[in-house]
Structure 1
């Protein structure tokens, strides 16, 4: 049923909505309502007809989904002691995560090339929003070039916008089309995405993007990856030479102090944590911060060490599966997405169970994309020839 043309169009629009509406939807509520109608509903509706694929997925990637199941169960148990005002809403958010992860194998139906195609167009679409944001911020609004660029929609925060746009640059870099005309569009889009990240002055996003591109030849081992890494290194050196004052102006932004204070909070509730959705503030250097600015310490504060270990097991299992498929076009991209996300998590991301938002791009999107690694090797030829149908 999921292979019907109307079903594929429905789910294609759903994935594009997730990727693009984060920057164009007028409110987060509309963004989430669109996800319910365009992504959640078809994932549930077509899951029964995809049951054979799902059984294959759960068996082949059991070391991803067993700790994932443990994490979900532990999160539900932690609602017994959480200080969240609405425990039912926190449980509903877990359901959103499950359905989101279910969507990818249902939509792809064993064809990772199908998802690569949509990710390519999604990356180009985000590049368009990046260009509009640059023109609006510096041209229309008249901000000086030293001001931190803000994106559109839910990407108006320089840090979160930098992470989403940076991740788009990563998947475009690893999944380029081969068709001549589209390659020109791809190259322009990739440049726009990188320029946006630099202008956002989000040092975490810049560092994550730079290190991911520099590490690209480690598992890609081709001439193109070496050229991209060399160009990235040259751009980074030039940017540091010309914008050193902007890079060092904000110091370390209290990150070491926040880390120490977060570790102290973890030590107060090492086994239970505060509970899923627990409200907390980090007190460091006589200031209060809304979250831990690090995904791993955030998980430990909310879910304790058991939750942290389960999340780490899921995350490392994703890398393990991707590394085994590093000789495939799809596997190379997943490693890049995983590395960028891991680096990004260290500096600002602090939301694992929240409603769909920018943070999902570096937490649940990599896990969802990694589910298709089961079929990546069998479809490696199709993935390598994706541009012919792009």
Structure 2
């Protein structure tokens, strides 16, 4: 991924500006047929408005944050319309995204371990340098590969290549030392095999996990690859839970100072500053109070329901990707409303696809093409 500023410019040129000319009233009405879309827009609007009651409110700062609302809304709209009306093009871009994750993992590992001792915690040599975000994006790409791209590949050589790519992505997740994305990935892979009734593969997967568990117990290098010290998550969450309890109905607003300090146990320990809650649910409650948290849970439940319908048709991929994101958001992340960031890939991507599926199911695929 390019730098943050360059990424914003790419988004303006390739997505936002064209969408303002191409999206019509019929398109927005088609999207409004989806309860997931309506729930998402309600949540994002509430978070945007919450900036007005922030203690540090200024109009300039609020406008800087408020522009994220049309960013995310247009991204979801374009994503939903493209996946419904141009499935072939959407598939090509999905394959490109997965391959980009594979190449970024290989490149980053080569560059990082050329200077760092093995098995130090892998840091990606891209704009997504945060290990947790990189692991979460890799997990999203891995699930899309295993349960969407791989089953759709008719040629044997392509299936072999995809399996090799899956190994790279899984290895990248493990080398980051990010425990929640790794566990969530393995849980979702197992669930996906159950949903697809691939019992033999599930048995092989279980044996493989048992062997890996044995290596983690007996092997120092393997244990170091995924083992880290205290991340102070519980202390961080306790601080933010107290702040939410002090302003439960409106929250502190989107412009609040979201930093907190945690003092480790020990006589000479110095306090550590953390920049955000490391939990999307707590962050949402901090900004918009319990109503915002309830909106997030309702939207997630509606999206999971639509994902389950797809799983019942033998297409569990977007259910799995969304479930994976919801699990990872328990231990990392903060803002749902933002300029292009990793969360657009691992959370808003499955939301957008499920919006398209729900709108097409309610109005029929012909409506999607007729409003093009």
Q: Same fold (TM over 0.5)?
A: yes
Of 284, 292, 299, 1:307 maps to 292
Greater mean deviation of Cα atoms: 92-101 or 35-44: 35-44
Alpha-carbon offset, residue 276 of structure 1: 1.8
Matched, 1:361 2:345: yes
Gap change, CA 1:136 and 1:227, over 3 Å in 2: farther
Of 267, 281, 287, 2:259 maps to 281
Greater mean deviation of Cα atoms: 76-85 or 341-350: 76-85
State the alpha-carbon separation in 1 of the partners of residues 281 and 297 from structure 2. Answer: 8
State the alpha-carbon separation in 1 of the partners of residues 52 and 38 from structure 2. Answer: 22
Gap change, CA 1:171 and 1:228, over 3 Å in 2: farther
Matches within 5 A, 1:1-390: 22=1, 25=2, 27-48=3-24, 52=26, 54-59=28-33, 61-62=34-35, 64-82=36-54, 83=56, 86-110=61-85, 112=87, 114-139=89-114, 142-175=115-148, 176=150, 177-223=153-199, 226=202, 229-230=205-206, 233-234=209-210, 236-241=212-217, 242=219, 243-245=222-224, 247-251=226-230, 253-285=231-263, 286-328=271-313, 331-374=315-358, 375=360
1:120-144 deviations in Å (ceiling 9; x for gaps): 23202210111111111113xx211
Alpha-carbon offset, residue 279 of structure 1: 2.2
Alpha-carbon offset, residue 31 of structure 1: 1.0
Greater mean deviation of Cα atoms: 82-91 or 189-198: 82-91
Secondary structure of 1:288's aligned partner: strand
TM-score if structure 2 supplies the norm length?
A: 0.85
Q: Please, which runs of 5 or more residues in structure 2 have no aligned partner?
A: 264-270, 366-372
State the alpha-carbon separation in 1 of the partners of residues 282 and 99 from structure 2. Answer: 34
State the alpha-carbon separation in 2 of the partners of residues 227 and 94 from structure 1. Answer: 45
Task: Select the structure with the greater relative contact order (CA < 8 A; seq sep ≥ 6).
Answer: 2
Secondary structure of 1:283's aligned partner: strand
TM-score if structure 1 supplies the norm length?
A: 0.82
Alpha-carbon offset, residue 65 of structure 1: 2.5
Count of residues in Structure 1 that have an aligned counterpart in Structure 2:
347
Secondary structure of 2:273's aligned partner: strand
Q: Please, which runs of 5 or more residues in structure 1 have no aligned partner?
A: 1-21, 380-390
Gap change, CA 1:157 and 1:73, over 3 Å in 2: closer
Asked if 1 retains the 8 angstrom alpha-carbon contact of 2:184 and 2:327, the reply is yes
1:49-96 deviations in Å (ceiling 9; x for gaps): xx555534422x22x123223223322331211225510011101110
1:83-121 deviations in Å (ceiling 9; x for gaps): 255100111011101011011122234454542342123
